[in-house]
A and B are shown apart, each in its own frame.
Chain A
Amino acid sequence: MSDLFAARSQMAVSLAFHIIFAVVGIGMPALMVMAEWRWQRTGDPVLLELAKRWAKGTAILFAVGAVSGTVLSFELGLLWPTFMAQAGAVIGMPFSLEGFAFFTEAIFLGIYLYGWKRIAPRAHLLAGVVVAVSGALSGAFVVCANAWMNAPTGFRVVNGQVTDVDPIAAMFNAAAPAEVVHMTLAAFAATGFAVAGVHALALRRGTVHRAFHRAALQIALLMAVPSALLQPLSGDLSARGVATRQPMKLAAMEGHLRTGPAALVIGGWPDATTLTHRGAIEIPGAISLLLHGDPTASIRGLDAVPLADRPPVTVVHLAFQIMVGCGMVMAAVALWTLWRLRRRRRGYGAPLPDDRPFLTALVVASPLGFVALEAGWTVTEVGRQPWIMQDVLRTADAVTPVPGLTVPFVGFTLLYVGLAVTVAFLLWRQLLKTGVGEVPVGMTGELPIPAALLAMGTVPVSPAASDRP
């Protein structure tokens, strides 16, 4: 394995791991706030229980998000020193902003988790809102940095050195709005569907806590359905941006190999060297029609640039198809949900559909959001190759001169696989204990307040600890 490939793979593994926790950190606080808000309006204890359990889940995952994020902020330099030496001054600002968003999130998550009995209900709800908003903001800030790699602006290159730095222009680059919207919707859709799936599974198996799981399902769907419906629209916007700014990424996504009218290529195995497809269904002119309103409009294909400048088309095309496929299924399930709810208003069926076919659909759709998320990032990042900064700096020129990068790559991969297995195992145990299993609702007590929090005040942890002379 070449050092460059090892470095790229290590970056990919670390980011693919981190994004899961990042997305949960954006989606879960929104869910718990919705549950608490409903509880305050209806007084239904089941909703309070729900808010508390979701908050506890958030806390477990927050720590893993924090450590994997810490690793990333070092890895940018460990693996791509040349990139960071040039880019740091230009794009560091969103990262600094992100730092403050984390701080705010951590402080108010602390207040939220341990403050149920200590602050007024409205203040408590507000603390939850702050957690949710700062989570979404921190995601938006990093994605701005990533968008800048796709559409670098806010500097000039003179004699190979970056000058005339304008961090504000860099942060608000042309690719940022579409990417931020698409990413934020993805976070809500992915978390919403995953949570809905868990509770649908419990209902489908038959549970004594129907009320609890139905309430959870309802809230999860409230988040999942609108975002899944908006996601294809936002994806279309992203694709249009990519078409103008990164034509080779678009060509790779669509498997558009030769310049000319672009077909919609479904499936198949494109080959960048021979410029051929194997086994694809093609709808001639469909992409040209979508982008330019004219099925004969010519679009640049991969053959427009030398082999060395083409992204790895197979990976990008497959990943794009996976994302769009998942997106379509999720949108379909969302539409079905809406249709069922409409029928219910006309007086048919249960207030929230929970028949077996519907629940089965939710269970099946449950992992799709996360699959689409990973696939979408693969499209964005691999589709940008061979550039780390589009048309400015090549990935191969940015990599660290340190040799033997296979060793850290293998090491971190094993570490992350181990962590992923453990997190899954622990969450499953947690679920068995509290959710899917048969333990009665109402078990989640207050979390004990950590001594460190108490020590911040002047009150001793327990009366015995008073050591005032």
Chain B
Amino acid sequence: MSVAELTWTLPHVVAGVMVLSLNAYVLLGGADFGGGVWDLLARGDERDAQRSLIAEAIGPIWEANHVWLILVVVLLFTCFPTAYAHLATALHIPITLMLVGVVLRGSAFTFRSYDSNRDAVQRRWGRIFSIASMVTPVLLGVCLGTMASGRVPFTTVLSPLGTAPRVMAPAVEPLTFADRYLWPWMGSPFAWAVGALTLGLFTFLAAAYLTVEAPTPVLRGVFRRRALQSQAAVVVLAAVTIGLAALQAPLVFAGLTEGRVALAMHLVTAVATITCIVALRRNRFRLARVAAATEASCLLWGWAWSQFPWLIPPTHTITALAAPRVTLTLVLSVLGVGTAILLPSFVYLFRTFKGGGSSFNPS
């Protein structure tokens, strides 16, 4: 199906909201993961200062950043239920491993920051926190990469009510456990490249944000250097990913290289990347932060665009897998009303912590 033939429909709107929510997760939650990586890599005299800066920047309440991921999942199972069921089956193992990472990371961080005793127990939590912070984004990327490259076509027939799920009669020979649940993701260099790119991107975002939040020139210098290094890593990883896409994921490659939208996207990404590097070099950290966020968002939307209009490439489109219209309409209304409540709340949160201004001053 070419883009020209598509009419924008309700399912596409929901899918767009899902990417938007994933975008928020990458920008907010992603940087938290990246913080964990820098925690692990903290070196030198400033090590403890670096770690406490990271801990402060994340802040326990920011587990709320998870809500963005949850929103994606809830929208997926409400609006594209068969796709959710299928992905959760085909990618059962990497998703389960990712969840272990989510649990360990979130709780280890909380335990570490609320336990005031600085002892060995606390160091161990710190270690768990950092390792989980590295593993989880890789697996997230692997899942997305596997899906985007069309390696998980529907093989399980989701059975009518009242009968057990069946595995579709395989055409030639029976699929083994490994064929069905391991090989699609484990054996795909492209998927692992996407995983590495995700990790690189999160790490880069964290470093770029931390340059703004660092309280001393020394720390700022440390994270400036790291932001530049991880920026370079992101560029290399992105190039590798596109290269592998050309070899292994023709659909993704075509989506990334054909048409004016793709070209425009590449342009914006390039401009953001260059802006970020220049801004970092000139110590314009606020600008660098905005550029880094733009760059990350562009990469994410690039992926979304590359697999459009497929939800589960190469067989099922967004429209084909959508829930009944009434469900989509209701969910979009809920999103509308919810946003109408949340936006003012966010503005209030923002204004409360902007200091000065509207804030209440106790005598």
Contact = CB atoms under 8 A, between A and B. Distances in A.
Interface of A: 59-60, 62-64, 66-71, 73-78, 81-82, 84-90, 92-93, 95-100, 102-104, 106-111, 113-115, 117-120, 123, 157, 159-163, 165-168, 392-394, 396-397, 399-404, 408, 411-412, 415, 419, 422-423, 426, 429-430, 433, 448-459, 461-462, 464-465, 467-469
Contact of A62 (B63, B85, B167, B352): B63
Contact of A85 (B62, B82, B356): B82
Contact of B215 (A104, A159, A163, A461): A461
Interface stretch (B95-103, B189-197, B268-276): B95-103
Nearest to B334: A96
Contacts of B70: 69-70, 73, 99, 102
A67 B66 contact: yes
Given A88-B81, A467-B212, A118 B353 contact: yes
B215 A455 contact: no
B89 interface: yes
24 contacts: A60-B114, A64-B107, A67-B66, A70-B70, A70-B102, A70-B106, A73-B74, A74-B88, A74-B95, A78-B95, A86-B158, A88-B85, A92-B81, A100-B334, A100-B341, A102-B70, A103-B342, A115-B352, A115-B353, A415-B100, A419-B103, A426-B115, A465-B212, A467-B285
Contacts of B57: 450-452, 455
Nearest to A118: B359
Given A81-B85, A92-B327, 18 more contacts: A59-B114, A70-B106, A74-B88, A84-B77, A89-B78, A99-B70, A99-B74, A119-B352, A168-B330, A393-B162, A397-B164, A400-B165, A415-B103, A429-B115, A451-B213, A454-B355, A457-B355, A459-B355
B78 A82 contact: no
B64 interface: yes
B66 A70 contact: yes
B111 interface: yes
B107 A67 contact: yes
Chain A interface helix/strand/loop/mixed: helix
Interface string B269-312: 00000000000000111100000000000000000000000000
Contacts of A433: 116
Nearest to A69: B70
B74 A92 contact: yes
B220 interface: yes
A110 B349 contact: yes
Contacts of B212: 455, 465, 467
A48 B80 CA distance: 48
A59 B80 CA distance: 34
B181 to A, nearest CB: 6
Contacts of A448: 56
Chain B interface helix/strand/loop/mixed: helix
Nearest to B348: A111
A403 B324 contact: no
Interface residues of B, number: 100
B259 interface: no
Contact of B213 (A64, A457, A465): A465
Contacts, number: 312
Contact of A397 (B105, B117, B163): B163
A462 B75 CA distance: 40
A456 B106 contact: no
Contact of B66 (A66, A78, A85): A66
B72 to A, nearest CB: 10
Given A67-B103, A89-B81, A459-B355, A157 B161 contact: yes
B88 A78 contact: yes
B92 A88 contact: no
Interface string B201-239: 000000001001111110010000000000000000000
Contact of B107 (A63, A86, A90): A63
Interface of B: 53, 56-64, 66-67, 69-71, 73-75, 77-82, 84-89, 92-93, 95-96, 99-100, 102-107, 109-111, 114-117, 156, 158-167, 177, 181, 209, 212-217, 220, 283-286, 323-324, 326-327, 330-331, 334-335, 338, 341-342, 345-346, 348-356, 359-362
B85 A84 contact: yes
B183 to A, nearest CB: 14
A396 B164 CA distance: 7
A108 B114 CA distance: 20
A456 B345 CA distance: 14
B63 to A, nearest CB: 4
Contact of A81 (B80, B105, B114, B158): B158
A164 B162 CA distance: 18
A401 B160 CA distance: 15
Most buried by A among B60, B61, B100: B61
B319 to A, nearest CB: 15
Nearest to B359: A118
Nearest to A393: B161
Given A88-B323, A453-B353, A104 B217 contact: no
A459 B353 CA distance: 9
A92 B106 contact: no
Given A68-B103, A70-B102, A450-B57, A104 B335 contact: no
A401 B85 contact: no
B79 A92 contact: yes
A78 to B, nearest CB: 5
Contact of B64 (A103, A161, A422, A462): A103
B100 A411 contact: yes
A393 B85 CA distance: 16
A82 B158 contact: yes
B59 A452 contact: yes
